[in-house]
């Protein structure tokens, strides 16, 4: 019999994280087949990615398997936190208040602005010369 799991998707900028949350006696987190420390390299990013589990008090209850693509490392860590938060709510609806207070359920809408014609970047123009 296969283990039942809960799926959720989290996003940030162009990063997309798909998460499978399964009840497990020994909790573990795997990101693209690697440990979070191995994948994100810094303790700060690992802490951000696993923050939702700590806030919900579910750090030892679930095994998390994540697939992340797109964006940079910082956006991927935020997308993973968003996805884990959504999955935890499906599993334990009573944790919603704590996760919402920590602002982990809101998708951060900020993204890079598109480049406009005649400009160097979205708003930056070439240096103007009077003569």
**What's the CATH fold of domain 5-101?**
Ribosomal Protein S5; domain 2 (3.30.230)
Which of 76, 71, 99, 90 has the alpha carbon at shortest distance from 7?
90
SS3 37: helix
105 burial level (CB within 10 Å; 0-12, 13-18, 19+): middle
Mean pLDDT score across all residues of the chain:
93
Phi (first) and psi of residue 71, to 5 degrees: 70, -170
Q: Which of 17-31, 65-79, 110-124 has the lowest mean pLDDT?
A: 17-31
**pLDDT: which is higher, 65 or 26:** 65
Give residue 2's pLDDT band: very low, low, confident or very high (50, 70, 90).
low
Give the pLDDT confidence score for residue 1 in this predicted structure. Answer: 42
Determine the Cα–Cα distance for residues 130 and 99; give it in Å rounded to an integer: 55
Determine the Cα–Cα distance for residues 14 and 72; give it in Å rounded to an integer: 8
Residue ranges per structural domain of the chain: 5-101
Rounded percentage of the chain residues whose pLDDT exceeds 90: 86
Residue 92 has pLDDT above 50, yes or no: yes
Q: How many CB atoms lie within 10 A of CB 103?
A: 9
**pLDDT: which is higher, 1 or 75:** 75
Give residue 57's pLDDT band: very low, low, confident or very high (50, 70, 90).
confident
Q: How many CB atoms lie within 10 A of CB 123?
A: 9
Determine the Cα–Cα distance for residues 33 and 65; give it in Å rounded to an integer: 8
pTM as predicted: 0.89
């Amino acid at each position: 019999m296969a283990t039942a799991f809960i799926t959720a998707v989290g996003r940030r900028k162009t990063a997309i994280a798909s998460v499978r949350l399964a009840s497990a006696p020994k909790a573990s987190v795997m990101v693209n087949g690697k440990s979070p420390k191995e994948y994100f390299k810094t303790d700060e990013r690992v802490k951000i990615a696993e923050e939702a589990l700590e806030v919900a008090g579910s750090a030892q209850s679930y095994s998390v398997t994540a697939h992340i693509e797109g964006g940079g490392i910082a956006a991927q860590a935020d997308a993973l936190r968003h996805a884990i938060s959504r999955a935890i709510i499906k599993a334990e609806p009573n944790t919603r208040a704590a996760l919402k207070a920590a602002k982990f359920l809101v998708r951060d809408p900020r993204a890079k602005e598109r480049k406009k014609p005649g400009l160097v970047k979205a708003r930056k123009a070439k240096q103007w010369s009077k003569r």
